[in-house]
C-alpha cells in the first residue's frame, strides 16, 4: 500500500508518500480501506514536533472507508461495511488499522467525504449543543467564531433545536455564511461592541448560554452577555488562554456557570460516541445539516494540504469553516 511517512520533524516537505507493508488487524482491530481522510491542525503539530510522536510515523486519525479485514474477537463491523472514526491509526494511507469499538457505521445516502469531514468538528458541535448545555426551544445562545468549522455546524444544530441564535464573526462575507447556517442575528465584532449588541437584541435580558471558542479576547465580554444563572461554555482559546479567575465574579454577575469541556471526555464511552455520530450522520442524510468541504487533495499531495492549512492559520485568528480532505 501507499502511505504518507514522516521521518523527522519539519515543514510540509517532510511528508513523503512511500510504499509500506499492508497492515494486519490485531485482536479487537479492523483494517479500513480509506476513502476520505480529514486534515487537522494536530497533525501539523505532530509533523513539526510541537506534539511529541515517535518517528517515523504516518499522520492522521480522522477518516472514513470500507472494512477489508477484522481481527480476533470482532463481530462488528463486518468486512464490506462502510465506517468512519476520529481515531484511525495513521489514516494518511490507503489502508489503516482501527479499534473496532471506535468505528461507527456510515448509513446509505451519506458519502464518504462527508462522513470523514463531520467527525471532529461535528462531534464537538453535537456535544456542545446536546450535552454541555442542552439547548431547548426558546433558549437564547451566543456563538463566537460562528463562521468557523465548529461554529457553522453549531449554528445549524442550535437552530434546529429551537434556539434563538446570535453569532459573531469578522467580515460581512462570513456574516452571510453564518446567517445561511441559521443565525437569527450576526454581530461583526471588529465593528460592533458585541456585549452592547447582545444587550440591545435581548432587551437587557442577556443569553442563556455563550459558546466561546475564542478565549482571552472575548471571555470577560462573554460573561457580561449572560443572563441570570447563564452558562459560559469555554470551548477554545483561539486568541490565547484566559487569565486566572476569581470565582466570586460568577456570583456578582448573576450566579453564572462556567465550564471548560474536553472532546475526549464526551466520546470516552464507545456507545456515547456511536450515538453522537449516528445522529450526526442521520442529520446529514436528512439534508438539513450541511458540511462544507473547502478542498480535497490526492493523498500524495498531503504536503500541499498542510501548506494551505498553515496559510489559513497565518491569515486568520479563527479557523475557517471549510474542511480539507485527502482522497487516496
Q: 134 and 231 in one domain?
A: yes
The pLDDT, as a whole number, for residue 311 is 84
Residue 277 included in any domain: no
Residue 284 included in any domain: no
3-state secondary structure 57-90: ECCCCCEEEEEEEECCCCCCCCCCCEEEECCCEC
Q: 126 and 108 in one domain?
A: no
> Which of 225, 246, 264 is at the close of a domain?
264
The pLDDT, as a whole number, for residue 314 is 60
pTM for this predicted structure:
0.95
Residue 273 included in any domain: no
The pLDDT, as a whole number, for residue 315 is 60
Low-confidence ranges of the chain (pLDDT < 50): 317-319
Residue 283 included in any domain: no
Residue 232 included in any domain: yes
Q: 64 and 110 in one domain?
A: yes
Rounded CA-CA distance 264/152 in Å is 21
Q: 105 and 51 in one domain?
A: yes
Total number of domains constituting the chain: 2
> Which of 248, 264, 280 is at the close of a domain?
264
Q: 165 and 91 in one domain?
A: no
The pLDDT, as a whole number, for residue 318 is 47
Rounded CA-CA distance 77/241 in Å is 41
> Which of 247, 264, 281 is at the close of a domain?
264
**DSSP 3-state of 212:** strand
Q: 252 and 127 in one domain?
A: yes
Give residue 317's domain range: 2-118+291-327
Q: 136 and 108 in one domain?
A: no
Handedness of CA 166, 172, 178, 181 (dihedral sign): positive
Cβ-contact 206, 222 below 8 angstroms: no
The pLDDT, as a whole number, for residue 319 is 47
Phi, psi dihedrals of residue 130, rounded to the nearest 5°: -100, -25
The pLDDT, as a whole number, for residue 312 is 74
Q: 221 and 128 in one domain?
A: yes
- CATH assignment of the domain containing 71: 3.90.180.10
Q: 93 and 183 in one domain?
A: no
- CATH assignment of the domain containing 177: 3.40.50.720
Q: 310 and 214 in one domain?
A: no
The pLDDT, as a whole number, for residue 28 is 98
H/E element, 259: strand 257-259
Q: 106 and 6 in one domain?
A: yes
Report residue 100 as a C-alpha cell: 473496532
Task: Give the residue among 102, 94, 86, 152 at the shortest CA–CA distance from 272.
Answer: 102
Q: 83 and 23 in one domain?
A: yes
Amino acid at each position: 500500500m501507499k502511505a504518507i511517512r514522516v521521518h523527522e520533524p519539519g515543514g510540509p516537505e517532510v511528508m513523503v508518500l512511500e510504499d509500506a507493508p499492508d497492515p494486519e488487524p490485531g485482536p479487537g482491530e479492523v483494517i479500513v480501506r480509506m476513502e476520505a481522510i480529514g486534515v487537522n491542525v494536530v497533525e501539523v503539530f505532530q509533523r513539526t514536533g510541537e506534539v511529541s510522536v515517535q518517528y517515523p510515523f504516518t499522520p492522521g486519525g480522522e477518516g472514513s472507508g470500507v472494512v477489508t479485514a477484522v481481527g480476533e474477537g470482532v463481530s462488528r463491523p463486518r468486512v464490506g461495511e462502510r465506517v468512519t472514526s476520529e481515531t484511525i491509526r495513521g489514516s494518511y494511507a490507503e489502508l489503516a488499522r482501527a479499534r473496532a469499538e471506535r468505528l461507527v457505521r456510515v448509513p446509505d445516502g451519506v458519502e464518504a467525504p462527508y462522513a470523514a469531514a463531520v467527525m471532529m468538528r461535528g462531534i464537538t458541535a453535537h456535544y456542545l449543543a446536546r450535552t454541555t448545555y442542552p439547548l431547548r426551544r426558546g433558549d437564547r445562545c451566543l456563538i463566537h467564531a460562528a463562521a468557523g468549522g465548529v461554529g457553522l455546524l453549531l449554528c445549524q444544530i442550535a437552530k434546529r433545536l429551537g434556539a434563538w441564535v446570535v453569532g459573531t464573526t469578522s467580515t460581512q462575507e462570513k456574516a452571510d455564511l453564518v446567517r445561511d447556517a441559521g443565525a437569527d442575528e450576526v454581530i461583526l465584532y471588529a465593528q460592533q461592541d458585541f456585549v452592547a449588541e447582545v444587550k440591545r437584541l435581548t432587551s437587557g435580558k442577556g443569553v442563556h448560554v455563550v459558546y466561546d471558542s475564542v478565549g482571552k479576547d472575548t471571555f470577560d465580554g462573554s460573561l457580561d452577555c449572560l443572563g441570570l444563572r447563564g452558562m459560559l461554555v469555554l470551548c477554545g482559546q483561539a486568541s490565547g488562554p484566559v487569565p486566572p479567575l476569581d470565582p466570586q465574579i460568577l456570583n456578582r454577575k448573576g450566579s453564572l456557570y462556567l465550564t471548560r469541556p474536553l472532546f475526549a471526555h464526551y466520546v470516552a464511552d464507545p456507545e456515547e460516541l456511536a450515538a453522537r455520530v449516528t445522529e450526526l450522520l442521520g442529520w446529514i442524510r436528512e439534508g438539513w445539516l450541511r458540511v462544507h468541504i473547502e478542498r480535497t487533495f490526492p493523498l500524495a499531495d498531503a504536503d500541499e494540504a498542510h501548506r494551505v492549512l498553515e496559510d489559513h492559520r497565518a491569515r486568520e485568528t479563527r479557523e475557517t469553516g471549510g474542511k480539507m480532505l485527502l482522497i487516496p
